[in-house]
Amino acid sequence: MSLKEKLTSVIELLGFKQKFADKSLSQDEFNALVAEYQKKYQSTLADDIASEQAAKKTARQAEEFQTMLNTIQSVLAGGEPSSTADDNGTQQPAPQGNATLEGILEGIKGMRADIQAMGANPAPDVPAQTVNAVPLSVNGFANTADYLFGIKHSLFSMKDRWNKIAANPRAAAALPEVDDQVDGVAFYKAACNYAKSLKDRYQYLQQNKMLDATALAKGTYATNYEGVDNAGVGDQFVVLRQDALIARVLQVRDLTQFFPVAYGYQDRGLVFNAFFDEVSQAYQSGEVFKGGMKIENHMGYVDDAMIKMEWGPMKELERKYIGYLNKEGSDPIKWTMIEYQLLNTLRAAQVEQNKRRMRGIYVKPDKGVAGSYLNAATGVLYTLLRYVHQYDLKPHDESTYRTYTQATFLAAVQEFIADVRASITEDMDLDNHFIYLNKNHQAWWIKNVRSTYGKDTDFAGPMGALSVVPDTTMRIIWLPYLGQTPFMMLHEPGNIQFLEYVPGEMLSVKMQENMEQVRAWSVWKEGTSASFTGRRFATKKEMDDNHYEWQQIFINLFAATITDKVDGNNGFWQVTDSTTSQTTFTDIENAKAGVAYCIECGDKTKLPKITKSGKFDSITDAFTATAVGDYIMVILGSDNKFRELERCVGGKRTINKELQPNVPGAR
């Protein structure tokens, strides 16, 4: 690389091109230029000029570089540039043939005052490794004829059709018609290469604990990975934009702020609960022992989830991308077509995972049929329902807070907390527990609080009425994605957690060309588990007789009451009670794809029944409950008929291993 190229590269890297031309560099900026040149090329500017002069072969080139040396020396001494003598001994002015060289010399001359000031008051020595370059903007510079955003990198080359459109969406009408065999193949190849680079970047950030959305969006880590400091400025821009893209995805990972993620679960993992007997006693001599420990294993598991999709053809991608450019004018970042496709794919996957982590239940799909995103893994609600059905958790089932309304929300929550406090033993407290409520009902809460405690009630701050239940010390966490479910849970943060195998697996999208399309996919493992629920019991009677001793998670019976039919609009968990008028069911009205419906007996005089016929002809057998707590759980299949997931009759629970192979109890 020539001296001219080196110096131009440093000036552009620091964003000083215009200031250098205007001779308006400050002392600190000049310092940064000199330091960055020496840091990047491991030599001083003067040394490189001398070396290049010595390497030149012709007299004319030697004169040019000698003139530059003389000019630098003259500027530093405060004089004017010296002239050179021609072959006849006549003094000639400094050569003007090389415009870039002239700009360099004139720029140095224009900084004479700054250089003299620096000489009189030199800056303190600073170790080279602590000198920071001027931060690069994620948006790059202005578009040029050769590069989108002025970023000198192949990803932003104006030779590519999609980058020309990004620079000017109206250019698409003037370009030749899309040729999938040419434009499409080129785009897909570039997208595949970029996706691999993005995957590697994500893994690096995770391994080095840099997955902080706010810091990534600010570009904090943009030059903090192996190789980037010695790479070209174009590579640094790519990393900066990749970090911004990853930050956009991480910003929608809202459920992980309520429930942490535990890694390393490839299939199943035992989480044990230890219960200690009394150990202390009054002193007496002799071998009088007391105490012991009982361990009860708790099973956490993950299921396999995936993204598999095709992009294309090129004409369709281009149309969508132009639409994005036209409607997203307020977006501070203008994404390339490659970045746009990946960003929206990953954001959609992240939003789906958020909803699934709350309302999902794993169901093995019909062969060859794409299933609902809700059935890729099991989330919080169905995990809690499983704990109830396997006698790990005893819910509080008073109708006051099981079926609260807009008018009774506040009173129902206060009563639920009071009932939980009244049910725990004297050895337990709830100081570290929070109450988890449905965020969708927050407006009801505000209205109730104002009605009860006055319109001027303070809702702000950590002790406001949105953060703490009035007249209690119980702190509130508002959970999204609950629809109209009347959900209440007392839980110590960190107990329930999401399970994964390898961090970032879902975002590690792989790509492959396939004729005029490109295929994108990723595969990961996902699940939900509590580390501590309480004692486990073999029967419902044993659980009831325990009276909540050692229980650590407290929930209301967040189920709807069945009147004369089962209606999917009323929720996924529905129970009979004394008011139920119809107990034989032939359909679940308004059933939604991806939702598993649990029909349960809540009153010994109202036993639900389902015959093996019609929309239920695919269940394993006719269902008739025989006791309170008996239930059947079904889900709508691709043939619009219900498939059986599990049932409990006479207290005996049976799981359909074909559809739910990993659920504890299935194997």
308 Rama class: left (phi>0) / alpha (psi -120 to 50) / beta: beta
R_g over Cα of the chain: 35
Region of poorest pLDDT, from 219-233, 254-268, 358-372, 554-568: 219-233
Measure CA of the first residue to CA of the last residue in the chain; give whole Å.
66
Q: Tens digits of per-residue pLDDT, 156-170?
A: 999 999 999 999 988
Helix then strand count (H, E) for the chain reads 19, 22
The yes-or-no verdict on residue 223 having pLDDT over 80 is no
Asked whether 645 and 660 are in contact (CB, 8 A), the reply is yes
The yes-or-no verdict on residue 661 having pLDDT over 50 is yes
The yes-or-no verdict on residue 444 having pLDDT over 50 is yes
Q: What's this model's pTM, rounded to 2 decimal places?
A: 0.75
In the prediction, which pLDDT does 294 show? 62
Give the CA-trace dihedral at 146, 149, 152, 155, to 10 degrees: -90
In the prediction, which pLDDT does 577 show? 94
Q: Which of 595, 407, 559 is nearest to 485 (CA)?
A: 559
The yes-or-no verdict on residue 422 having pLDDT over 60 is yes
What is the rounded average pLDDT for all residues in the chain? 84
Grade residue 296 by pLDDT with cuts at 50, 70 and 90.
Answer: low
168 Rama class: left (phi>0) / alpha (psi -120 to 50) / beta: beta
Helix spans in 177-254 (H) = 185-207, 213-218, 233-250
In the prediction, which pLDDT does 589 show? 97
Q: Which residue would you say has higher pLDDT here, 655 or 89?
A: 655
Region of poorest pLDDT, from 14-28, 131-145, 353-367, 540-554: 14-28
Region of poorest pLDDT, from 65-79, 190-204, 522-536: 65-79
Give start-end residues of each CATH 2.60.120 domain in the chain: 559-667
Region of poorest pLDDT, from 69-78, 246-255, 347-356, 360-369: 69-78
Q: Which residue would you say has higher pLDDT here, 532 or 627?
A: 627
CATH class of 559-667: mainly beta
> What count of Cα atoms within 13 Å lies in the side-chain half-sphere of residue 98?
17
Region of poorest pLDDT, from 217-231, 269-283, 483-497: 217-231
Grade residue 133 by pLDDT with cuts at 50, 70 and 90.
Answer: very low
In the prediction, which pLDDT does 80 show? 46
The yes-or-no verdict on residue 75 having pLDDT over 50 is no
Buried b (16+ CB within 10 A) or exposed e, 540-551: beebeeeebebb
Asked whether 394 and 543 are in contact (CB, 8 A), the reply is yes
Q: Tens digits of per-residue pLDDT, 560-577?
A: 999 999 999 999 999 999
The yes-or-no verdict on residue 231 having pLDDT over 70 is no
Average pLDDT over residues 222-235: 57
